[in-house]
Structure 1
Amino acid sequence: MSGVNVGAGRVVTVFGGSGFVGRYVVRALARDGWRVRIACRRPDLAFHLQPQGRVGQVMAVQANVRHPESVAAALRGASAVVNLVGILAEGGAQTFSKVQAEGARAVAEAAKAAGVDTVVHISAIGADPSSGAAYARSKAAGEAAMRDAAPSAVILRPSVIFGPEDDFFNRFATMARFFPIVPIVGADTRFQPVYVGDVAEAVAAAVAGRAQPGSVYELGGPETKTFAELVEYVLKVTERARRVAKLSFGTGQLVARVTQLLTKASLGLFPKLLRMTTDQVELLKHDNVVSEEAIRDGRTLQGLGVQPQAIEAIVPTYLYRYRKTGQYQAQRLGA
Structure 2
Amino acid sequence: MKNILILGGTGFVGAHVCEKLAREEWDITVATRRENNARNVMHLPGLTVQECDIHDEAALTRLAKGHDAVVNLVAILHGDKQSFQRVHVDLPRKIAAACAASGVTRLVHVSALGANPQQPQSAPSMYLRSKSEGEAVLLAQCSALALTILRPSVIFGHGDKFLNLFAAMQQVAPFVPLACADAQFQPVWVEDVANAVVKALERTHPGAQTYEACGPEVFTLKQLVEISAKLAGINQGKGRPVFSLPHWAASLQARTMEMLPGNPLMSRDNLDSMKLPSVATPGAPGLSALGIEPAALQAVAGDYLDEGSPWHSLLGVRKRANWK
- TM class by shorter-chain length? 0.7 to 0.9
Relative distance call for 1:47 and 1:259 in structure 2 (3 A) is closer
Counterpart of 1:125? 113
1:91-127: CA deviation from partner (whole Å, max 9, x where unpaired): 8x98111011111111111011111111100000011
The residue correspondences of 1:102-113 to structure 2 (distance < 5 A) are 102-113=90-101
The residue correspondences of 1:1-335 to structure 2 (distance < 5 A) are 9-53=1-45, 57-90=46-79, 95-128=83-116, 129=120, 130-151=122-143, 152-209=146-203, 213-240=207-234, 241-260=239-258, 262-263=259-260, 268=261, 275-294=265-284, 299-321=285-307
Tell me whether 196-205 or 230-239 shows the greater mean CA deviation. 230-239
After superposing on structure 2, the runs of 4+ consecutive aligned residues of structure 1 that deviate more than 2 Å are 50-53, 63-66, 210-213
Contact 2:303 2:309 in 1 (8 A): no
**What secondary structure is seen at the aligned counterpart in 1 of 2:74?**
coil
What amino acid is aligned across from residue 172 of structure 2 in structure 1?
F
Q: Distance between the aligned counterparts of 1:30 and 1:275, measured in 2?
A: 33
Tell me whether 216-225 or 239-248 shows the greater mean CA deviation. 239-248
Contact 1:153 1:213 in 2 (8 A): yes
What amino acid is aligned across from residue 284 of structure 1 in structure 2?
M
Residue 26 of structure 1: how far off its partner (Å): 0.7
Contact 1:183 1:245 in 2 (8 A): yes
Q: How many residues align?
A: 300
Residue 309 of structure 1: how far off its partner (Å): 0.8
Tell me whether 16-25 or 34-43 shows the greater mean CA deviation. 34-43
> Superposition RMSD on alpha carbons, in Å?
2.0
Counterpart of 2:321? none
Gaps (5+ residues) in structure 2?
Answer: 311-324
Q: Distance between the aligned counterparts of 1:292 and 1:253, measured in 2?
A: 31
1:71-101: CA deviation from partner (whole Å, max 9, x where unpaired): 112202101110000011128x981110111
Q: Distance between the aligned counterparts of 1:164 and 1:253, measured in 2?
A: 30
What amino acid is aligned across from residue 250 of structure 2 in structure 1?
G
What amino acid is aligned across from residue 123 of structure 2 in structure 1?
S
Counterpart of 1:3? none
Q: Distance between the aligned counterparts of 2:26 and 2:103, measured in 1?
A: 18
Counterpart of 1:6? none
What amino acid is aligned across from residue 64 of structure 1 in structure 2?
D
Residue 312 of structure 1: how far off its partner (Å): 1.7
What amino acid is aligned across from residue 274 of structure 2 in structure 1?
L
What amino acid is aligned across from residue 102 of structure 2 in structure 1?
A
Contact 2:62 2:102 in 1 (8 A): no
**What secondary structure is seen at the aligned counterpart in 2 of 1:50?**
coil
What amino acid is aligned across from residue 257 of structure 2 in structure 1?
T
What amino acid is aligned across from residue 144 of structure 1 in structure 2?
A
What amino acid is aligned across from residue 72 of structure 1 in structure 2?
T
Residue 34 of structure 1: how far off its partner (Å): 1.3
Q: Distance between the aligned counterparts of 1:255 and 1:48, measured in 2?
A: 34
What amino acid is aligned across from residue 242 of structure 2 in structure 1?
V
Gaps (5+ residues) in structure 1?
Answer: 1-8, 329-335
Q: Distance between the aligned counterparts of 1:229 and 1:187, measured in 2?
A: 8
What amino acid is aligned across from residue 291 of structure 1 in structure 2?
T
Q: Alignment identity in percent?
A: 36
Q: Distance between the aligned counterparts of 1:235 and 1:188, measured in 2?
A: 18
Residue 256 of structure 1: how far off its partner (Å): 1.2
Q: Distance between the aligned counterparts of 1:250 and 1:222, measured in 2?
A: 33
